[in-house]
Amino acid sequence: MSYQSMEEAQIRCEKEGIAFWKAVQLEDAGERQITEEDSWNVMKQMWRTMLDSLDAYDPELMSRSRMVGREGGLMDAYREKGHTLCGDFMAKVMANALKMGCNNACMKRIVAAPTAGACGVMPAVLVTYFREYDVPEEKMIEALYVAAGIGQIIANRAYLAGASGGCQAEIGSGSGMAASAICHVKGGDTAQIGHACAMALKNLMGLVCDPVGGLVEVPCVKRNVGGAFNAIAAADMALAGIESQIPVDQVIDAMKEVGDKMDVSLRETGFGGVAGSEKAAQIVERMNM
């Protein structure tokens, strides 16, 4: 059985004196009756696919609706001028989040982590850091285990689909996973990994899923930027020693409660939120022509 709570995982880590990522790997190997090495190799494949997917971005390509596609290229060009408000590293994070979101909308091959709509958050945080700071690849693969373990706990206690719990379940969960993962890369312990996730989830709690025309384009592509920035902020807070007053398991439960109460028009039906705006109606009308 996979971990039902961070508390349960943390108890195992303390008892066996292992890191959180290792506890996740051992669970995977045990559950699927494979060796730790086999599990590692699959995870390494996921990491490499993320790198390839990011590199496959084409700034000339646009989605069928023509709403998105160029954003990654525009951000690259702007960053290269050197006048960004958020600094070079964060501008790269932003560009990479946009590129992955555009890749997905343009029907390219991506790693859904945790979902396709939120596929930009993890690579934006992890691949950008990896390339900027020349971290050993092993560390990044460990970080993917951290993210997967966190994602599994969220899936066990709540959900990962926008149609079930709104965007908080997709970009929110992706942000929580990325926060925990980068916290591990920077040397955070299991408690800090939990705090990073809890803070990231809380900051995006209540986020609705309101895709214009039902397409995973607007506002989804740009929300990957929000998720990535939020993840980095949450990880930095956790690494600074700031703690979430509400334990991560209870934050996840709260997210589920909020999702359950969310009106169906705000859960990926394409009716509420910005999808219900006047401009959205015009866009949908244009697309149906």
Partner 1 sequence: MGSIFDILGPVMVGPSSSHTAGAARIGMVARQLFGRQPQKAAVYLHGSFAATGKGHGTDRALIAGLLGMKPDDMRIPDSFEIAEEEGMAFTIESREIREAHPNTAQIIMEAEGVDVMKIQAYSIGGGRIRVCEIDEIDVNFSGESNTLIIRNLDEPGRIKEVAAALSDAGINIATMQVFRDKRGGHAIMVVETDQIVPQETMDDLAGKDGIIRVKFLLAN
The residue whose two tokens read 């506890």 is: 23
Distance CA 252, CA 152 (A): 11
Angle between helices 36-55 and 88-105 (to 10 degrees): 90
CB 91 within 8 A of CB 82: no
> If DSSP codes are grouped into helix, strand and coil, which group holds residue 287?
helix
Distance CA 247, CA 225 (A): 26
In the complex with partner 1, the residue whose CB is nearer, 242 or 282, is 282
In the complex with partner 1, the residue whose CB is nearer, 64 or 131, is 64
In the complex with partner 1, the residue whose CB is nearer, 65 or 250, is 65
Among residues 202, 274, 279, 271, the alpha carbon closest in space to that of 238 is found at 202
> If DSSP codes are grouped into helix, strand and coil, which group holds residue 161?
coil
The residue whose two tokens read 């997905």 is: 104
In the complex with partner 1, the residue whose CB is nearer, 88 or 257, is 257
In the complex with partner 1, the residue whose CB is nearer, 91 or 176, is 176
Token duo for residue 73 = 């290229």
Q: Closest separation between CB of residue 115 and partner 1, Å?
A: 4
Q: Closest separation between CB of residue 80 and partner 1, Å?
A: 27
282-219-233 Cα angle (round to 5): 160
> If DSSP codes are grouped into helix, strand and coil, which group holds residue 25?
helix
CB 288 within 8 A of CB 212: no
Q: Closest separation between CB of residue 101 and partner 1, Å?
A: 9
Q: Closest separation between CB of residue 152 and partner 1, Å?
A: 5
In the complex with partner 1, the residue whose CB is nearer, 225 or 283, is 283
Token duo for residue 67 = 């709403």
Enumerate binding residues for partner 1 (CB under 8 A): 1-2, 24, 27-28, 31-33, 42-43, 46, 49, 63, 65, 103-117, 119, 144-145, 147-149, 151-152, 155-156, 159-164, 169-170, 211, 213-217, 264, 267-271
Distance CA 122, CA 53 (A): 12
Q: Closest separation between CB of residue 94 and partner 1, Å?
A: 20
Distance CA 50, CA 48 (A): 5
Q: Closest separation between CB of residue 13 and partner 1, Å?
A: 16
Q: Closest separation between CB of residue 82 and partner 1, Å?
A: 32
In the complex with partner 1, the residue whose CB is nearer, 91 or 168, is 168
